[in-house]
Amino acid sequence: MWHRLLDLLLPLCCAGCETPVQSALFCAACTATLHPGDGDCCPRCGDIRLDPPAGGGTHTCGRCLAEPPPFSRARGAYAYGGALREVVTAWKNAPDHTLGPPLARLMVRRAAATGWAELARDTLVVPVPSAAARLRARGFNPAGVLASGLARALGLPLEPLGLGVGRAVAPTRGLGWRARQRRLAGVYVGEAERVGGRAVLLVDDVMTTGTTARAASRALLRAGAASVEVAALARTPRD
């Protein structure tokens, strides 16, 4: 009753452009800017091709051929761009705590297309942890919010403490591939008693170059995880 009354007094607005909506996160125009991440992409790392070559863009990318990642596969629910980019930026940097649950539901909508819905029922869902300073500043871990929603929707066990941060690390924004790898080396620590012998679905909010996913996956595998697959709400296209 109170929720219906509040909806009348404070009608819902699109998170992208503030157009009134009934219940969805985005209006039709902003929804049209969402690009699914499971179509033309590298089958290993999920690198999205917004402008695929003739015949499709589902071939393995050069980076994966040169340096195969430690995870079995990675997928983004959507490309990082359009209205989604604006909302994720507001969610993480404002921060706006109300955006977490609907963003998790947005991610869940792609679970069948990305293959996450077909994972074995004992697959552990583990979020990429936030550094202590960022956790204090935001008051929440974005990857943790998404992991919780995805695990609940898929009926998979959530293990929020399966991966930890072993040391502080300076921001990697603006750094190249090699520099990011060096800076993230040894940052994450897998918890053997929690992930040992288990298949893991590693969840992050945005996957950019894949260096975080690689570093976190290595830490989980060193701790004895049987395998690691990566799921991200958004994947930054390289095009």
Q: For residue range 13-30, what is the model confidence (pLDDT) as tens digits? A: 888 888 888 767 889 999
Query: Does 26 share its domain with 62?
Result: no
Domains identified in the chain, total number: 2
Per residue in 85-130, pLDDT tens? 999 998 988 778 888 999 999 999 999 999 999 999 999 999 999 8
What pLDDT score was predicted for residue 39? 86
Query: Does 2 share its domain with 71?
Result: no
Phi, psi of 85 (to 5 degrees): -60, -45
Give 164's contacts (C-beta < 8 A, 6+ positions apart).
129, 188, 189, 190, 191
Task: Give the range of the structural domain holding residue 63, as residue numbers without chain letter.
Answer: 34-235
CA distance 138 to 93: 8
Query: Does 130 share its domain with 203?
Result: yes
Question: Tokens 């050069």 — which residue?
Answer: 62
CA distance 79 to 7: 31
Q: Give 55-66 as a DSSP string.
A: T-S-SPPHHHHH
Check if the beta carbon of residue 213 is closer than 8 Å to that of residue 69: yes
Query: Does 71 share its domain with 50?
Result: yes
**Most confident residue range from 11-25, 66-80, 170-184:** 66-80
Query: Does 98 share its domain with 159?
Result: yes
